[in-house]
Chains A and B, each alone.
Chain A
Amino acid sequence: MEPQNDAQILKDCSPYVKFAKLDELLALGRANSLWPLTFGLACCAIEMMAAGASRFDLARFGAEVFRPSPRQADLMIVAGTVNKKMALAVKTLYDQMAEPKWVIAMGNCAISGGPFVFPGQYAVIEGVDKLFPVDVYIPGCPPRPEALIEGLLKLEEKLTGKRRWPVVTPQ
């Protein structure tokens, strides 16, 4: 057999064999199959359901599998107000999720307590990041389903380093 040029071998094989870092492959896999925990607390939950339903369709991004059990989910979308009675349950659910896990704070209540913060308030936790770290914040009251999808794309960008689709700039 003739001695073959390594570079030539790589070039010939390139349509059939791809090389990548394992980290990048894992990140791509995780980003494209984020499984959210069914954690709708209040009004934002309805917009989350609408995002998972027919018009906005989270299934396109691999995220339609809402798991009721935190053991089977890797994304917690906190959709709604967290109050002091619920805070322990939220923290327990977060602790029960296995690593790697991410948190999206959806809506003003999850970001900072929302419209329910007033001097003398006694029940609302002012932002879920007071309980555990949050990766993406989606403002709105409630945010549109498109905003939730944008938040998901931002999380994917955080995982993979690349945005799935370019940002559309208005003409």
Chain B
Amino acid sequence: MTTAEAIPAGTGRETFVLNLGPQHPATHGVLRVKMTMDGEYVARAEPVCGYIHRMQEKMGENRTYAQFLPNTSRIDYLSAMTYTHAFVGAIERAAKLTVPPRAEYIRVITSELNRISSHLVWWGAFLLDLGGFTPLLYAFDDREKILDLLEGITGSRLTYSYYRIGGLYNDVDDTFVKGTRQFVAQMRPRLKMYRELVTENIILRKRLIGIGPIRAELCRKYGATGPVIRGSGVGYDVRKIEPYSVYPEMDFIAPAFPEGDSMARYLVRMEEMAQSLRIIEQGLDKLPAGPVMAEKVPRVLKLPAGDYCYAVEAARGRFAVRIVSDGKEIPYRVKLRSPSLSNLSLFEEASRGMLLPDALALMGSLDLVIPDIDR
């Protein structure tokens, strides 16, 4: 473990600054990391953000509540459903709208499908970073099946904007229900194959076990949530601790692994996919009949003055929305609490003294989506 200051002058050794990004295959978006390197070891890794800053919070002050809804899908486009859920949830809390149960169940089912598709992209891209190309093709094949299901009800493959203030804009049909059950049935053997061929692969194990240990206390100090803190042994999941929608009626576990290394974070996400399949099945079994939109949602929505918050468990961690309203139809302030920002903020401390490929494995195991950081 060295720092730039620890190298004595005149020894012929010096550190150099290696610039990773903003265009780089391993940074999963436009992230720049200024790495001060001592040979192959990272002395200091300083992330530089802002290369995809798209003024989401400023747009929140320039758009009505309904007009801002499509933005929520684009903040973290891989868990678009959950982000829209947080935004409409905050408004429904404020306007005291009751979402019909059928809509709540469909929201949970689609959020969990979204979680699986997000974890599949993470898994394929992570293995691509580590050097294995084939899992990406398998992951995207499974993901296409999910996207077919979601496209059938929402019309879109990636940025859904499916939830509306008060419910959903479109009900699901039999094709969706049958197709989702078929998907769940064929996904379980696929997860088993991934476990046997990839998770138990000796090369992956050597690349991930013991790499990038993050203690739970570090996660707490930086606010890291999601699979990062669950990979350090703390079973914090917003769906369990601060439940919302119909998650209290679902029987699932939020997997936590105590080791705190990249392998633990990897296993958390693989197990989460299996748990999401369980939630989807239960959701389909319990799906009640009824309307999918609340009654009497005002056409021109004005929230009473005050602050309204809502937190959800997105694929990357805890995503929270705070809407500050001053009684008008345009919010006064929309604050988006981004899980990737908190997860990346501990990278500088956690990557000190690591070898460069290990630091990249650590960064991949944090599962970052950079537009979520930059908003």
Contacts and interface: CB of A to CB of B under 8 A. Distances in A.
- In the complex, A touching B, CB below 8 Å? yes
A121 B53 CA distance: 11
Given A86-B30, A118-B62, A43 B77 contact: yes
Interface stretch (B18-26, B84-92, B164-172, B344-352): B18-26
Interface string A49-64: 1100111000000000
B55 interface: yes
Interface stretch (B137-145, B195-203, B222-230, B236-244): B137-145
Contacts of A27: none
A68 interface: yes
Given A43-B371, A49-B140, A53-B140, A118 B30 contact: no
A43 B54 contact: no
Contacts of A123: 53-55
Contacts of B141: 53-55
B71 interface: yes
Contacts of A116: 54-55, 59
B157 A83 contact: no
Contact of A81 (B23, B54, B136): B54
Interface string A35-48: 00111111101110
Contacts of B29: 40-42, 45
A155 interface: no
Given A43-B74, A116-B54, A118-B59, A38 B25 contact: yes
Contacts of A54: 137-138, 140-141, 144
Interface residues of A, number: 36
A124 interface: yes
Interface string A20-36: 00000000000000000
Contacts of B78: 46
Given A46-B77, A89-B23, A83 B53 contact: yes
B84 to A, nearest CB: 14
A89 B74 contact: no
A15 interface: no
Contacts of A141: 159
A85 B74 CA distance: 19
Contacts of B143: 50
B16 interface: no
B291 interface: no
B140 A124 contact: no
Contact of A47 (B24, B55, B71, B157): B157
User: In terms of DSSP, what is the predominant structure of the interface of chain A?
Assistant: loop
B157 A42 contact: no
B249 to A, nearest CB: 32
Interface string B139-168: 011011000000000000111000000000
Interface string B50-80: 1111110011001100000011001001100
Contacts of A124: 54-55
A49 to B, nearest CB: 7
B281 to A, nearest CB: 25
Nearest to A43: B77
B121 interface: yes
Nearest to A144: B157
Nearest to A120: B62
B158 A46 contact: yes
Contact of A85 (B51, B71, B137, B158): B51
B70 A115 contact: yes
Interface of A: 37-43, 45-47, 49-50, 53-55, 66, 68, 80-81, 83, 85-86, 89, 93, 115-116, 118-124, 141-142, 144
23 contacts: A41-B51, A42-B29, A42-B54, A43-B74, A43-B77, A46-B78, A47-B158, A53-B124, A53-B137, A53-B140, A53-B141, A54-B141, A55-B141, A83-B50, A85-B50, A86-B22, A89-B51, A116-B55, A123-B53, A123-B54, A123-B55, A124-B55, A142-B158
Given A43-B371, A120-B58, 13 more contacts: A38-B23, A43-B158, A46-B121, A50-B140, A53-B124, A53-B144, A54-B137, A54-B140, A55-B144, A68-B25, A122-B55, A123-B53, A124-B54
4 cross-chain pairs, A with B, having the tightest CB-CB distances, nearest first: A53-B140, A43-B77, A86-B51, A54-B137
